[in-house]
Amino acid sequence: MTSVAQIKKDLEECIGMKVILKANRGRKKTTVREGVLESAYPSLFIVRISNDYDSSRTVSYTYSDVLTSTVEVTILDESERLVSIS
């Protein structure tokens, strides 16, 4: 059983790494984004998203979003291997 504390610990270990976010936005809408895990705070984590138009923005999600599968986080490690956190 995964807890919020375990998810937070796992994400804190991956700060600075590339991640793929798959977010459920309701009514059968999902978005998939790729970015860099920038920081982890006590109740949320921040990912910097870069797009094709040379602009970047930050998105934030709570650890409970990951726990309830509203957001799926996949970490890309050095060998581009996928490590899923949920």
Identify the structural domains of the chain with CATH numbers, from first to last: 4-76 (2.30.30.100)
Please report which helix (H) or strand (E) contains residue 7, including its range. Answer: helix 4-12
Instruction: Look up the pTM and report it.
Output: 0.82
pLDDT digits (tens, 9 = 90+) for 51-79: 777 678 899 999 999 999 899 999 887 76
Instruction: Determine the average pLDDT of the residues in 30-34.
Output: 90
Angle value at C-alpha 28, between 25 and 29, nearest 5 degrees: 45
Could you tell me if 17 and 75 are in contact, meaning their C-beta atoms sit under 8 angstroms apart?
yes
Segment 32-47 shows an average pLDDT of 93
Burial class (CB in 10 A: 0-12, 13-18, 19+), 19: buried
Measuring CA to CA, which residue among 14, 13, 48 is closest to residue 33? 48
